[in-house]
Structure 1
Amino acid sequence: MDSHSGIGLVGVGENFDPGLDLAGFESSDSFEGAPPADNGGPPKKKNKKFHRHTPQQIQELESFFKDCPHPDERQKRELGVRLGLQNKQIKFWFQNRRTQLKTQLERHENEVLKQENEKLRVENGFLKQEITSRMCNNCGGPALPGEISSECYRLGVENAQLKDELSRISSVTKMFTGMPLSSSADPTPSNSGPGLAVRGNGFCGSNNGGNTLPMGFEHDDWGLMPLIKPCVANTLVDVAVAAMDELLQMAQMGNPLWIKGLHDGIETLNVAEWEQTFSSCIGIKPSGYTVEATRETGLVPLRGLALVETLMDVNRWVEMFPSLIARAETVDVLSAGTGGTSDNALQVMDAEFQVLSPLVPIRRAQFVRFCKQHSDGVWAVVDVSIDPGNAANPQMFANCRRLPSGCIIQDMDNKYTKVTWVEHSEYDESTVHPLLRPLLSSGHGFGAQRWVATLQRQCHRFAQLVSPAIHESSSDACYSGPGITAAGRKSVLKLARRMTYNFNTGMCGSSVFKWGKLNVGNVGEDARVMLRKNENCPGEPSGVVLSAATSVWMPITQQRLFDFLRDERMRSQWDILSNGRPMPAMIDVAKGPGQGDCVTLFSSGLANGGMLILQETWNDATGALIVYAPVDEPSMSVVMNGGDSSQVVMLPAGFAILPSGSPRYHGDADGSESRNGCLLTVGFQILVKGPGGKLTVESIETVSKLLSGQVERIKGAFSVT
């Protein structure tokens, strides 16, 4: 199982190994004659001799077992003669094989029963949560006990039915395992009223004894307006539980479900094996959709519980993965968790996922996020798309479906956390430009490798920022104003974060800023021009803003291109803002341990009227980013002294470098060029003003020329045609 076998979960992915020599574990003792002990005591037995069957013998026995698991004496003799085995060996092999098959079936049945019991257990927790959170229609305060007495009675009846169902499951489980369900599954007393014992798992289930859940009441009865319908909530629980089970198995299983590449070592999902092992919990794959599945394991310097809380908080989740998530929001919270933690937390979320290229459409998804603690220090968080008919916004299902995806989080002894990430989705490949299709199919676009690399980079950044040894350097010869303070560092980093976020969303066309796409004849299919109108937005210029971006193939390595673009001595070769002059760095604030992961402030020279250039860069195995924006000197003086950075007006520009290329798209059939190439995305935003504030064709042509000129200057620096 390589690095994915140490998750420490029990009862998942247990398969019978036909190569196991069952005859080596015969149920009767057969010892050689033992000589008497030297001291006159009882004779000592020699060690039992084991016989290992050959693979051919095991194959024959397995084949015969499928047709006849209980052979008679004649069949045993014939098998023994044909395979060269004694009759006793044949007998014990079949006995052990039947025993192991029975054990497998019992384990499977036990898992099914445990899942059913879990649904019942957590449903009662949801009932408790609903009762305690009821609000009065008249005053808006908590409902008085007398107001819900009739509901308590009805819920008490329903709870009794659930307890009866649990008792039956416990009896069946005891029949298989020889022991009752663990005490953790027992109902816990509640102070909700007599006869109403509820459990504390915190979200609703589907087996409700034929009665309606509290969310099924008329909304006017309780003053409650849930975003998710009651019948839909029941369905979402079933989907979430099934998705969690699938995630656990996909995180642990190896070959033949996951096949490792011979050259790059990247794991690929065996789709045929997946279809035989699992049944889709969200329906049949739409026609024309392509399957994308990846898995990655890594260590991050963050405790597991902190990571879980980050994933369950939508704002912190977006902040942790800024280059992957363009926008996200929580639609509804079906359960906030139990015991003051995120255990059994269940949410419905909307999100937009992005690849830093205008040639890859934003992936919009509405999905259920379910968090579960499986043991001490081991958590799992799973996402799965919900049926469009049950979605609050059916338009979120335009181009992809998120199959069970997420991560297993396990605390390690060295204050690190082991994260096993699985990404599995289906998407419409026809909406992706041919240049970028190999990037997505390789998993470098939306795959698990990118999620883990981003998580590691962000965690190292947080650790670096809280460290007092933040590297900074300033040159008084280049900047005559005040130096940067400790509070100023935070303001500069906050400003850089806003700049990069605006660049990413503008390049990919996120709905955050409501970009409108322009279809203009002089703009090629490899480029995209969009516009939006700003009115009284802090930190944004008023008027019409155009965003232009394109992606091109570069036959050079990612590292070489990144070093060139961030080298201040080479900047005059491609940046028109430099006017051919050197642009020395004034301040350099490190954001992480990696070289190039920093925020830099450049001086553009006196010819530009005191304008400064703020730039953020980072680089890892999944890509690189260089984002910059001109800012005026007075505003930056305020920021570097810890002032408010939200009022600084800027429009970003920059580059995104992706490590995967498209040799077939460029005629390189054997792929030799792609191993040394990368994809460069160039993008910028510019304020345009026409007569009466209206957009003109001349403005669009100017933007198109600026974009193509930027690309040609970079190609010329490397003598690329």
Structure 2
Amino acid sequence: FTMENDSTQNNNNGHDLNVAIETDDTTDLIWYDMDALLGVDDNDASNDHDVEGGRDNSHESEASSSKAKRHKAKQILALESLFQSCSHPDDETRRALGTKIGMDPQQIKNWFQNKRSQNKLKSCWDENREIRSINTMLQDENFKLRQRILEQSCFSCHCHMSPPQQLSEKQRLLIENARLKEQYLRAQATLRELTRGTPRPLVMPSFIVASDGNGTDTTLLLQHAERAMKEFQELAAAGAPVWLPSIDGDVLNYREYTTGVFPGMLGPCPQGFVSEATREAAIVWGTAADIVGILTDPGRWSEMFPGIVAAVSARDVGFSGTLSSRDGLILLMNAELWVQSPRMPNRSVKFLRFTKMTANGQHWAVVDVSVDGVVGQEGEPRAQNTRCRLLPSGCLIENMGGDYCKVTWIVHAEYDEATVVPLFKPLLRSGQALGARRWLPVLKRQCEYKGVLKNFPAGDGRKGVMEVAKRMTASFYAAISGPVTLPGSRVREWRGAALPVRMVIWNCAGVVPGHPDSRVLSATTTVWLPSTQPCVVLDYLRNERRRGEWDVLARGAAVTELGYIITGNVHGNAVSILRPNVTDDGTNNNKILILQEACSDPSCSLVVYSPVEKNVTLALMRGGNPVTDVLLPSGFAILPDGYRKIPHASSSSSSATSTSTAPAGGNTTSAGCLLTAAYQTLWSGPPADDNLAAGAFDAIGKQLCNAIESIKAAVGAEVIIPA
């Protein structure tokens, strides 16, 4: 953990790459006219003593003085034929051939020497030509890389970036030292895993079959899960034309799907529903057994995806495999899924999760499918009209070795679009809200986070800081999407000059882990920034020199990064401790520091921060216990707007591959973003005090609107549209 300006993060986007690949023209081989040499009857051949054993030849001087003449075509044909079978004939073979074609044995020896030299030179010349071709290709690639560096553009999204700060030699050495230490700790962890021995088999509850509580025969659930597994595996293995490639991944061709071999397990799509089907693949840190362990444990699954899973309950239905592993495990799950915006209602879904192992534990399949038509309540028809249902979805996991695995994720869902705010419809249809393009990037980023956390030993201050930051981010998700549905919450909408802000007074006890019984005022709002890419907004929010433009904790000034922990492979994914540069008394002796986590993946970017007392922070960094005080995180969630065009085949009105028309006032010539801002503070008064609430609502509402206006001006957005 780097402290007090020892090192700063630097986007070393290849700026040290200044490799010039030179062309050495002196390496060109000289091409001799060997045909003339081979066609001379008595020509001067070199004494190939190393090849022919260094024997003295009595005919050498006589052959040298002979008049040059070309061999006959029959002679050359015979010589070529022998050379193909034997390139070093002995004396007896040369005499026999000479008698046959009318040539002296010494002439035959010279011809073979010249032929071997010709082949050797030709091979060198071909190799040199190939090397020159490769050199030209590398020069072109080097030129393009240097041009990209000079343009200061991001290699992933091609956005313009500010030039990085030059690092001193001391800073370079500190960064290199941190990298080597990380490798050393990773190697130690791997060694401990290898010496720990064979893991014990998983102990599962002692059951084989069970009732679902609604009188549903477990056999029906097993058959339903098996059918879903079969369809999912066929869908995962299919290529074009079932899946159509797009910029971000694969989308399902519904015409091929509905007219193909897929059975349509849940029947026709209900009236007013739309379909969303996306597929994504990536290499993820962790073994297949690790990923399966997370997906089959509801608690760990919810913890792994805090920005997607709001709540989950599950119970075991049965096994179709053995009890010694998760192979064949079937869970009946109820889940609440959310998107980071107060304008998006939570999505409820009830489904079976079926886990199956193939290829001796190297391949796993985890499949989800809704139980519509299979499970029903007492006195109700089993085919219920839910607002969302999952067709066979899930992931295929393949071990790749070296603690990595390949994950292929598919989400195929049908949902009632009438419940969706118009501004969010393109995002949902693109699969970046609750589709494969959301689940898999989050899994990859969270696995990287856990990998970093795992490398820190117990008692390490960095481990404690990361655990607190993890809890802070979970609290931020709950503040954006959770309070409205809680009993006892008071919800109001405050309208400023242009933006509506949702105000909620709620009790965070039992909702966020580690929070005591406290009432909190949460203010949230969502706006659309057309044609403003998410990475532009994220770079501005992470700019320490301009933080005072929008953060009241910075008191209008810049902040200093006291230290940071890199949490992933994406530049900027880090947990930081910041210090405002000014205080009330004009000194730099701040009693309040800022704990911040910034993270980004293709589906979402976050900047979450919370004030923390300085003495608590220092104790935590020295290896103390994680803080138990209330963390009141504020911050920003930046989502893509979903208006990027994707190729699709014509289909029914329920197809999700069609692209919606942009609302009036928006320019969709390039991708924009949906920005959600949230601010929280403790509520000390009674929730029913209207006068106190009105004053607090005005203060916080104006503060949030000012932050949005500062972001709009900084990123050069022409217009902001309230969601």
Give the residue type in structure 2 aligned to 1:449.
R
- TM superposition shift of 1:392: 7.4
Q: 1:498 to 1:644 in 2, by over 3 A?
A: same
Q: 1:610 aligns with which of 585, 591, 595?
A: 591
Q: 2:640 aligns with which of 652, 659, 668?
A: 659
Higher-Rg member (1/2):
2
Counterpart of 1:645 in structure 2 is: 626
Counterpart of 1:435 in structure 2 is: 423
Alpha carbon RMSD of aligned pairs, Å?
A: 3.3
Q: 1:670 to 1:249 in 2, by over 3 A?
A: farther
8 Å contact kept, 1:304–1:410: yes
DSSP-derived class of the 2:559 partner: coil
* Counterparts of 1:510 and 1:543, CA distance in 2: 11
Counterpart of 1:302 in structure 2 is: 286
DSSP-derived class of the 1:607 partner: coil
Q: 1:697 aligns with which of 680, 694, 697?
A: 694
8 Å contact kept, 1:605–1:611: no
Q: What are the within-5 Å matches in structure 2 for residues 658-677 of structure 1? A: 658-662=639-643, 664-667=661-664, 671-672=668-669, 674-675=670-671, 677=672
Q: 1:396 to 1:627 in 2, by over 3 A?
A: farther
DSSP-derived class of the 1:539 partner: coil
* Counterparts of 1:463 and 1:363, CA distance in 2: 30
Give structure 2 stretches of 5+ with no counterpart. Answer: 1-204, 585-589, 645-660
Counterpart of 2:81 in structure 1 is: none
- TM superposition shift of 1:639: 2.3
Q: 2:270 aligns with which of 275, 280, 286?
A: 286
* Counterparts of 2:428 and 2:479, CA distance in 1: 21
Q: 1:330 to 1:286 in 2, by over 3 A?
A: same
Q: 2:409 aligns with which of 396, 421, 432?
A: 421
Give the residue type in structure 2 aligned to 1:427.
Y
- TM superposition shift of 1:567: 1.5
Counterpart of 1:82 in structure 2 is: none
* Counterparts of 2:485 and 2:469, CA distance in 1: 18
Counterpart of 2:442 in structure 1 is: 454
Q: 1:629 aligns with which of 610, 635, 646?
A: 610
* Counterparts of 2:539 and 2:220, CA distance in 1: 51
DSSP-derived class of the 2:631 partner: coil
Q: 1:531 aligns with which of 482, 505, 517?
A: 505
- TM superposition shift of 1:519: 4.6
Report which stretch shifted further, 429-438 or 494-503: 429-438
Counterpart of 2:546 in structure 1 is: 570
Q: What are the within-5 Å matches in structure 2 for residues 218-297 of structure 1? A: 228-261=213-246, 264=247, 266-276=249-259, 277-297=261-281
Q: What are the within-5 Å matches in structure 2 for residues 461-472 of structure 1? A: 461-467=449-455
* Counterparts of 2:317 and 2:399, CA distance in 1: 27
Between the two proteins, the alignment pairs up a number of residues equal to 483
Q: 1:332 to 1:545 in 2, by over 3 A?
A: farther
- TM superposition shift of 1:372: 0.8
Q: Deviations over 1:327-368 (max 9, x none)?
A: 223234434962411011011112222222222221111211
Q: 1:286 to 1:526 in 2, by over 3 A?
A: farther
Q: Deviations over 1:77-101 (max 9, x none)?
A: xxxxxxxxxxxxxxxxxxxxxxxxx
8 Å contact kept, 1:366–1:391: no
Counterpart of 2:340 in structure 1 is: 356
* Counterparts of 2:665 and 2:708, CA distance in 1: 22
Q: Deviations over 1:475-502 (max 9, x none)?
A: xxxxxxxxxx952211111111111011
Q: What are the within-5 Å matches in structure 2 for residues 66-85 of structure 1? A: none
DSSP-derived class of the 1:380 partner: strand
- TM superposition shift of 1:693: 6.7
8 Å contact kept, 1:367–1:386: yes
8 Å contact kept, 1:487–1:642: yes
DSSP-derived class of the 1:569 partner: helix
Give the residue type in structure 1 aligned to 2:695.
E
- TM superposition shift of 1:554: 4.8
* Counterparts of 1:510 and 1:341, CA distance in 2: 38
Matched, 1:402 2:396: no
Matched, 1:599 2:596: no
Give the residue type in structure 2 aligned to 1:649.
V
* Counterparts of 1:513 and 1:624, CA distance in 2: 26
* Counterparts of 1:298 and 1:535, CA distance in 2: 37
Matched, 1:489 2:462: yes
* Counterparts of 1:487 and 1:652, CA distance in 2: 24
- TM superposition shift of 1:460: 2.1
Q: Deviations over 1:257-309 (max 9, x none)?
A: 21223xx2632212232223323323443221110100011111211122111
RCO higher in 1 or 2 (8 Å CA, sep ≥ 6)? 2
8 Å contact kept, 2:576–2:597: yes
Q: 1:280 to 1:336 in 2, by over 3 A?
A: closer
Q: 1:326 aligns with which of 302, 310, 313?
A: 310
Identity over aligned pairs, percent: 33
Give the residue type in structure 2 aligned to 1:614.
L
- TM superposition shift of 1:540: 4.5
* Counterparts of 1:633 and 1:408, CA distance in 2: 46
DSSP-derived class of the 1:715 partner: helix
* Counterparts of 1:425 and 1:654, CA distance in 2: 30
* Counterparts of 2:594 and 2:479, CA distance in 1: 19
- TM superposition shift of 1:457: 1.5
Q: 2:528 aligns with which of 552, 570, 574?
A: 552
8 Å contact kept, 2:279–2:437: yes
* Counterparts of 1:413 and 1:490, CA distance in 2: 27
* Counterparts of 2:601 and 2:424, CA distance in 1: 19
8 Å contact kept, 2:530–2:666: no
8 Å contact kept, 1:330–1:349: yes
8 Å contact kept, 2:520–2:680: no
Matched, 1:503 2:515: no
Give the residue type in structure 1 aligned to 2:400.
M
Q: 1:383 aligns with which of 368, 380, 393?
A: 368
Give the residue type in structure 2 aligned to 1:584.
T
Counterpart of 1:520 in structure 2 is: 493
* Counterparts of 1:540 and 1:547, CA distance in 2: 20
The TM-score with structure 1 as length reference comes to 0.61
Matched, 1:312 2:296: yes
Q: 1:516 to 1:405 in 2, by over 3 A?
A: farther
* Counterparts of 1:554 and 1:234, CA distance in 2: 51
- TM superposition shift of 1:429: 1.4
8 Å contact kept, 1:410–1:418: yes
DSSP-derived class of the 2:544 partner: coil
* Counterparts of 2:249 and 2:258, CA distance in 1: 21
Report which stretch shifted further, 361-370 or 395-404: 395-404
Give structure 1 stretches of 5+ with no counterpart. Answer: 1-199, 205-214, 216-225, 471-484
Q: 1:460 to 1:546 in 2, by over 3 A?
A: closer
- TM superposition shift of 1:702: 3.3
Counterpart of 1:590 in structure 2 is: 566
8 Å contact kept, 1:383–1:406: yes
- TM superposition shift of 1:452: 1.6
- TM superposition shift of 1:444: 1.2
Q: 2:355 aligns with which of 371, 380, 393?
A: 371
* Counterparts of 2:366 and 2:562, CA distance in 1: 43
DSSP-derived class of the 1:570 partner: helix
Q: 1:418 to 1:439 in 2, by over 3 A?
A: same
Q: 1:427 to 1:646 in 2, by over 3 A?
A: farther
